[in-house]
Structure 1
Amino acid sequence: MNYTFNDTHQLPASNVYTTFDRKRENLLSEQAQIYSQPQKTSKNIAGIGYTFEKENWSITTFLKNYNQVTTFEEAYRPVGSEYGTVAYRPKRNTFNDLGYGAAATYFLTDNFQLKASFEKSFRLPEPNELFGDGGVLLQGNNSLRPEKSYNYNFGAGYFFRIRKNHQVNLSGNGFYRDAKDFIRPRLNQNQVFQVMDNLADVTNLGLEAEARYSYKDKLSAGANLTYQNLRNNTRFESGQTRESIVYRDRIPNIPYLYGNADATYTFDSPFNSKNRVSFGYNLLYVHSFYLYWPSLGSTKLEVPEQIAHDLSLTYSFGKKNNFQFTLEARNLTDANLYDNFSLKKPGRNYTGKIRYSF
């Protein structure tokens, strides 16, 4: 909901509620009680804000309430029972806290914009992070705590034309993030599954940059690059008095330098000048990153550098070109691509799409 008092003042409000309820059973073993344990979580994020806009600047402030309730049954060994006996008891985790922030933009000139923002925010765990994905790649961690962070951003954008038909957009952003109970992926004890875990204190200082160029409605090309310096700021592990060996290490199993480049050229069909044909190209780049903590030298394995090339062809026709056929060829060089541990992306593949817009 957004209430506008006049051209200057706005009062937005929102509420987003999501719920997850998984029920499972093991048809091959009636004794495997773990499959029948309930797995439920619900989130509610309510927010209210205020926006002031005037001429070449805008200011927004907001307040959010984060609420999450997770219900599950934890395993325990009953007092006096035989070794290996497992029973289950219900458990309920509840989280409720307030976040807030502000953002501002200012046009120094008609084509040069400054942007800044600050936010205290929470990252609530996702259902698969709490309960796993059913034994495929991700093991659940129902004791996972929400991540709290203080986020600072400062950026600028510059937009200009060269003659009449050439448009150039340049933008850059610097950010700093101070996170507590940072949610990160790690390997479980037997090194088979990935599991999400909390790291007490993490900082992230980074930069983002993007450039785009367009010519009429025919050519569009651009590139973006992101660098994030995610560092472990947890100096002492729980219950330890000696400084952690991985203190100030780069967080493993997370890419820290990556980017994309793309270009699309559109022209009239040689068969019918009312129809449109588009050729597209996309480049993916991810710098190599460590799978484990860098300071643990004996396990200094890397996810290698990744470069992939994609091509696409789209033919549009019909009234207002609302009917489209698209052919795509992805990962043309059949490179080995990964997100992180065990999450391998497809090799060379071809897809087709049909889209109709009413």
Structure 2
Amino acid sequence: MNEMAAFSHERADDGDVLRFTGNLSLARIGDLPERLRGYDGSVDVIDLSGIDRIDTIGAWLVHRFAARHSARIEGLNPDSKHLLQQVEAADQPVAMRPAVSSGLVRVVGEVGDAIVIVLKTLYGLLGFFGATVIAFGNVIRYRRFRFNATVQRFEVVGVTALGIIGLMSFLIGIVIGQQGAVQLRQFGAEVFTINLIGRITLRELGVLMTAIMVAGRSGSAFAAQLGTMKLTEEIDAMRTIGVSPMEALVLPRVIAAVVMMPLLGFYASLISIIGGGLFCWISLGIPPITFVQRIREVVPITDLWVGLVKAPVFGAIIAIAGCFQGMQVEADAEQVGMRTTAAVVQAIFLVIVLDAFFAVFFTWIGWT
């Protein structure tokens, strides 16, 4: 095992044979690379049956020497032969600089890559939604609902968000009233500002802006929390002790988002109407009693149902996108930030797409 690497040349019936002996490892290889480079004879066969040991460095030397002389290698045991095959597979030319391509080809390639990523993400979200539904069915079937975890998520998603959502909605109501009054004043129809405030907040902006706020606030938190747990192997530990991460971590967050979104959306719509009513009282001289009476006259109850129907769907999308991206974290802490950003972007994008679908659908069924 400690004999230095060496080789000898022999003449045989099948051509020139170069026999290696000794230890072809980094510690005992000695000046073998220099001697192989200085060898100028012909070689048809490289016989390695006499070596004691070979490592990656030795396999690389033999492979390069055999390739340079177009010789075949014989005499290796299965393990050493597998090592040599791995070295041969790794011997590929490496481009020091990327190949220059035209701008059109590069743009088309980037668009294609983006489309593939989007399709894979949608497929993953669909599969994750199915896993969530299965987990919900198992919770109901085996009666192992985690009440405390779900109530704690209610507080995180809903109660602690009341302040920021209320402030945002109040200001949005004022902005809608101000911009609407400016445009309607040209036609002497400032009174219709009430119609604009009432209908657009209850039907669209109240729920939509709440969903965007929840996506940026709670959806990102879900992704970061689960991503950190995945990175520290807490989720693997839960599986080891027989606890389902879908039931213990994902399901409480999804239920909390689905239940709290209609309440937050209704709350945001009311606060926005209050903000718009305050503006109408101060700037347009419309008393609060007149404002409320006008709201009751011009806003149909279907506008409220439209907002309440969309809200739980938006909540489910936000929670599933956040939890899905959190469960995809691997390798390092940088993934947590990337997945958190992706969760927010995907949730907001899907919410807006679904809102457009709901707008067309409710118009088609006559809820206008």
Same structural fold, with TM-score higher than 0.5 when normalized by the shorter chain: no
Q: Give the number of the structure whose alpha-carbon radius of gyration is greater.
A: 2
TM-score class, shorter: under 0.3
Structure scoring higher RCO (CA < 8 A, sep ≥ 6) equals 2
| Structure (1/2) with the larger strand percentage | 1
TM-score w.r.t. length of structure 1: 0.22
